Structure 1
Amino acid sequence: MLHHRLLPLLLLLLAPAALAQTPRADLLIRNGRVYDGAGGPAVLADVAVRQGRIVAVGTLPADYPADTVLDARGLAVAPGFIDVHTHIEDDEVRQPTADNFLLDGVTTVVTGNCGSSRPSLRRYFRTLDSLHLSVNVASLIGHGDVREAVLGQARRAPTEAELTQMEALVDSAMRAGAVGLSSGLIYVPGTYARTPELVRLARVVARHRGLYATHMRSEGDSITWAIAEALQVGREAKLPVQISHLKLSGPPNWGRTTEILGQIEAARAAGQAVTIDQYPYTASSTSLSTLLPDEVQADGRDSLRARLARPAVRREVVAGLLRRLRRRGLRHFSYAVVASFPPDTSLQGLSIEQINRRRGRPHHARHEAATILDLVARYNAGMVFHGMSETDVQAIMRYPHNMVASDASIRVWRQGVPHPRGYGSNARVLGRYVREQQVLPLEEALRRMTSLPAATFGFQDRGLLRPGFAADIVVFDPATVQDRSTFEQPHQYSVGMRYVLVNGRLTVSEGRHTGARSGQVLRKF
């Protein structure tokens, strides 16, 4: 009888306890238009976060327990953006908060692109672990660095013994957690590699279920041949291919998007896994030395200077630069603008044409070509090259297997005159190409920034707003999100990113970086 008398009291005591069994959220996002990243339309929902993970998505009770509540009424809630093509090496120590990425909605970056990475990713990942960046970082192993570690900058094929050494370095990087192999086939020493070398190294990557990401040999006149080589590496090594920053450079190549996208789509139809990425601008950015022939750059900078000091070599290189200019249908090197030149920062933001005139030389392309050689001999300047068509940019953007990428470093505030893509690539897509020009629907643009890159690079618990997934989340205003960075004034952060969470920590609040540094190294095993 005593047991039955106590039962009502016991139930009364248990009722609050049952409510208390709902795990208390560290953070609760209320009333947002939730885009889960899979490409579907938004739903009005709440998102609860606990211990760095999403624990609930849906219409949650009014008394759902939470330490912090964010009101997302009228705002979009999406997975944190994944930038698959970055170059953060060297800047992560100076700027570990990575403000330019976070304020553009990016919570994860993939570095080690274009054949350039840290040679020892195991050591690099330990360094990142100790730095505690504000963004998550994954890395490719760079073919160029692997080749240089074994062959230096020699312009020749590796011996079998050397190739075996290179394979061992790639295998070590993959065991350390690299997501794949990258190549930069317009850069020394990557440009000296032939296709069989790339296939051998890619086969090592395939054993670890990684991918091959390539800055191809050509993005202009020979682009179809370059795409064919990239596809060949993927076919023969049996691994996915990621074509970096697809574009058509130079007016003679404008309008070839149907041709190159058809080539990629044909490979996909034949069963190949092929994806691309793109930054949403009509200018590229890379080093000035890419304008010079490969053979002139072999064996290091001292050899480069020695060759350029020879009158016959100098005349030949100048003639090649002039031929390049004529193919573009231009009279001057106005399309090439200095982004970074530490020996003389007054040149930053000026075109080669402007620098030549400033030096009092005749206003002629031949003298501008000589100016290029003078600059390269002194320092390999970072450049912005204006040479793409807006029509092509939009046509490539519409391709469904295309991801948004910045091809940028962690920007150090007010340093140089860099390409604006480092500050505003995602916001530019959302503001200019989604809201203003309607090139893409919002839900599709978000898929390109979230679940597509996560699936491509193997981030199994990111890229979607689902219970159990890492709480990388961006809350933004679709009506106001916009890039502000320009070619003339690049050091300007994007606007409209209201809140950004990285592994559950509030890293951007009301559009300002909180100083939180909860990023993780994303190793692939």
Structure 2
Amino acid sequence: MNRLGVWLVAAGLAVLARGADYDVIIAGGRVVDGTGAPARAADVAIKDGKIAQIGAITGTATTRLDAHGLVVAPGFIDVHTHSDDLVEKLPRSEHFLRMGVTSIVVGNCGGSKLDIGAFFRGIDEQHVSPNVATFIGHNTVREAAMHGIFDRPPTETELAEMKRLVDRAMRDGAVGLSTGLIYLPGTFAKTEEIVELAKVTSPYGGIYASHMRSESGKILEAIEEVLRIAREAHVRAEVSHIKLSGENSWGRTAAVLALLDRARAEGIDVCQDQYAYTASSTRMRQLIPDEAFDGGTATFNAILADPQRKADLVAKMKRNILGRGRLDYAYAVVASFRGDGTLNGMNIVEAAKKLRGSDSLDDQIEVILEIERRGGAQGVFHGIAENDLQVFMKHPMTMIASDSGERVFGEGVPHPRGYGNNARVLGRYVRELHVLTLEDAVRKMTSLPAEHFQLTGRGVLQAGNWADVTVFDPEKIGDPSTYKDPHHYAVGVPYVLVNGVLVIRDGEHTGARPGQALRHTPPAPVPH
């Protein structure tokens, strides 16, 4: 061996002896740091789960990733998910990770785990792939305190118990209170009840997030309620999955955004989140008037057994759909119905034709009632205008969030947003349609949600922050998942790191579960 060979071997042994300078170096990429600043060429070094350095890096690393031609961004933060059962059902959360999401917020739309402390302990002990924060759900505490679903205000004792449950959740690390005011039992709650519960979160720096009472004809009144709650409770606010649903409401984006902008000018800290699709998804039960469930399933079944009460219910359902400018339920698609999987993927018109031999409006309503009688189903509802979606997306205070629960690959015909939301924004709305710049799209997925939800040390690529990193190909990223064929993971995301650990490598899940429980800990209580 010549002198050079001897020197190289000695140098290599010396490096092994002292250990590498960094755990990971992501080299040669285009860094989009999450702040909205222009992309720049730089390497990113990671050590002990944190960003160690950004720039021209000459040190050694245990793992070196080649990011030439790729964008290096902060891990995406999805502030509106329904993956509350991930510990038990889907701890790898592959559908989120493979579209670049490294942190999720659960407990939305009023539904959460009741014991937030136990929920976080489960994450600590069982381990999951993404970082997880949670709300405490208003529907959850209302039903627990009132021991059922009731169309009445809580008693003083019941309200006190609801406050106790919310306070316990905030002490255990919840980010705030969520409501789902089209869902039972939240739909029966008066504004004053919600104000009192939101006030409990205020000393902890909590946020109030709402699936509002209306996303269609009465949307302005619904937003006013959100703003009143934020104003009187002295909390930040979040409008969940902003949209204008149904043809009669399309085109009102200017009025909606003007109302929110006026509130911000007044001093209310309010943002909105949005998914990048023109269909929503929730339970098929939402097609049935709420009063049919006052008292639970027993009330609903009693109505179906009483010819007159059932006729009254059917008549109201007809008035509701015709009043929204629709002649049938073709916009409503069965996503997951355990009672009869052959209906999955069919709209209600098609299901009525299959089950009853007729697609009349009466037969469609009969199918909706029968589905609910047999345990209910998840649905996909087409009713959002593409132009409205783009206007909302462009607004500087709109975050990108999927509104998705767990996605078990191959199960049912779920909404594609759970597989492709972030990738769709970067592929369709940045690369193809130029609705957003690359830097602003990344900001809406990273620093904006991190700041609004007070997720300290996340959302921006800078030294000292947690090493949640998404590396993607801006020319290839996309969402092959569709409404008819949803079970496809996002493409164009070769690397994802959570707390400095590779969770996605070469586009595949590594099996790693480095996610943390993101307990909300504001710097200090905020007195009011």
Tell me which interval the TM-score lies in, with the shorter structure as reference length. Answer: over 0.9
User: Is structure 2 residue 247 aligned with structure 1 residue 247?
Assistant: no
By how many angstroms is 1:72 displaced? 0.4
Name the counterpart of 2:79. Answer: 84
Deviation readout 1:204-255 (Å, 9 max, x if unpaired): 1111101000000000111111000000000000100100000001000000
What displacement does 1:298 show? 1.2
Q: State the match for 2:279 in structure 1.
A: 283
Contact 2:289 2:317 (8 Å CA) reproduced: no
Name the counterpart of 1:309.
305
* Helix, strand or coil at the partner of 2:221: helix
User: Corresponding residue for 1:25?
Assistant: 22
What do the CA deviations read for 1:69-95 (whole angstroms, capped 9, x no partner)?
A: 101011000000000000112344222
Picking from 44, 47, 60, the partner of 1:47 is 44
1:404 alignment partner, one of 392, 400, 405? 400
Aligned to 2:55: 58
Counterpart check, 1:196 vs 2:158: no
Deviation beyond 6 Å, 4+ runs, structure 1: 20-23
2:160 is aligned to: 164
Q: What SS does the aligned partner of 2:82 have? A: coil
Following the alignment from structure 1 to structure 2, what is the Cα–Cα distance between the partners of residues 88 and 44?
35
TM-superposed deviation, 1:442: 0.4
> Partners of 1:408 and 1:99 in 2: how far apart?
13
Deviation by residue 1:436-467 (Cα, 9 ceiling, x = unmatched): 00000000000000000000111110001011
Q: Provide, for residues 77-135 of structure 1, a one-character-per-residue CA deviation record: whole Å limited to 9, x for no partner.
A: 00000000001123442221111000010000000000000011111111122221111
CA contact (8 A) 1:91 1:411 kept: no
Look up the SS of the partner of 2:367 in the other structure. helix
SS in 1 for 2:103: strand
Given the alignment, which residue of 463, 467, 476 partners 1:467? 463
Q: CA deviation at 1:325?
A: 2.2
Q: Which of 99, 103, 116 is the matching residue for 2:98?
A: 103
Equivalent pairs: percent with the same residue? 50
Q: Does 1:121 align with 2:100?
A: no
- Bigger CA drift: 153-162 or 99-108? 153-162
SS in 2 for 1:459: coil
Residue aligning to 2:8? none
- SS of 1:299's equivalent in the other structure is coil
Decide whether the 8 Å contact of 1:72 with 1:475 is kept in 2. yes
Tell me if structure 1 keeps the 8 A contact 2:238–2:270: yes
Kindly state the Cα deviation for residue 350 of structure 1 after the two structures are TM-superposed: 0.7
Please give the secondary structure, in 2, of the residue aligned with 1:359.
helix
Alpha-carbon distance in 1 for matches of 2:83, 2:356: 38
Shift of 1:137: 0.4
Report if aligned partners of 2:87, 2:127 keep a CA contact under 8 Å in 1: no
SS of 2:482's partner is coil
The answer to whether the 8 Å contact 1:30/1:47 transfers is: yes
Answering whether residue 329 of structure 2 is matched by residue 333 of structure 1, we say yes
The one-letter amino acid paired with 1:284 is S
1:355-406 alpha-carbon deviations (Å, 9 max, x no partner): 1100234321122112111111221210000111001010110111000011
The one of 169, 177, 181 aligned to 2:177: 181
Once the two structures are TM-superposed, the CA of residue 313 in structure 1 deviates from its matched residue by: 2.0
Q: Distance in 2 between matches of 1:401 and 1:22?
A: 44
TM-score after normalising by structure 2: 0.94
CA contact (8 A) 1:34 1:42 kept: yes
Looking at structure 2, the residues matched to 389 and 409 of structure 1 have their Cα atoms a distance apart, in angstroms, of 24
| 1:257-304 CA-partner distances (Å, limit 9, x unpaired) | 001111111101111101000001010000111122221111211222
SS at match of 2:178: strand
* Aligned residue number for residue 525 of structure 2: none
2:330 maps to a residue whose letter is S
| Equivalent residue for 1:38, pick from 35, 39, 44 | 35
Aligned partner letter, 1:253:
S
Q: 1:268 aligns with which of 242, 254, 264?
A: 264
Structure 1 unpaired stretches of 5+:
1-15
Is contact 1:92–1:410 with CA below 8 Å preserved after alignment?
no
Which amino acid counterpart does residue 222 of structure 1 have in structure 2? K
Count how many residue pairs are aligned between Structure 1 and Structure 2: 507
Q: What is the deviation of 1:21?
A: 9.5
TM-aligned CA deviation for residue 309 of structure 1: 2.0
CA distance in 1, matches of 2:43, 2:19: 15
Once residues 161 and 493 of structure 1 are traced to their aligned partners in structure 2, the CA distance between those partners, rounded to angstroms, is 48
Superposition map of 1:495-510 within 5 A = 495-510=491-506
> Which runs of 5 or more residues in structure 2 are unaligned?
1-12, 522-528
In the aligned structure 2, how far is the partner of 1:17 from the partner of 1:233?
62
Residue 364 of structure 2 aligns with which residue? 368
Change (3 A) 1:392 1:337: same
Amino acid at match of 1:72: A
Q: For 1:474-494, what per-residue CA distance to the aligned partner results, in whole angstroms no more than 9, with x for missing partners?
A: 000001100111000000000
SS, match of residue 49 in structure 1: strand
Distance 1:185 1:142 in 2: 11
Given residue 54 of structure 1, which amino acid in structure 2 is its aligned partner? I
Question: Structure 1 residue aligned with 2:221, among 199, 218, 225?
Answer: 225
**Contact 1:78/1:473 (CA < 8 Å) preserved in 2?**
yes
| 1:324 positional shift | 2.5
Q: Is the 8 A contact 1:91 1:412 kept in 2?
A: no
Q: Is the 8 A contact 2:339 2:371 kept in 1?
A: no
Structure 1: how far apart are the matches of 2:301 and 2:125? Answer: 39
SS of 1:186's partner is coil
Say what the alpha-carbon RMSD is for the aligned residues: 1.5
Map of 1:476 onto structure 2: 472
Counterparts of 1:277 and 1:101 in 2: how far apart (Å)?
17
Deviation at 1:425, TM superposition (A): 0.3
Q: Distance in 2 between matches of 1:307 and 1:218?
A: 26
Q: Which residue number corresponds to residue 206 of structure 1?
A: 202
Q: Tell me the CA shift for residue 17 of structure 1.
A: 10
Deviation at 1:22, TM superposition (A): 10
Tell me the amino acid that sits aligned with residue 470 of structure 1: W
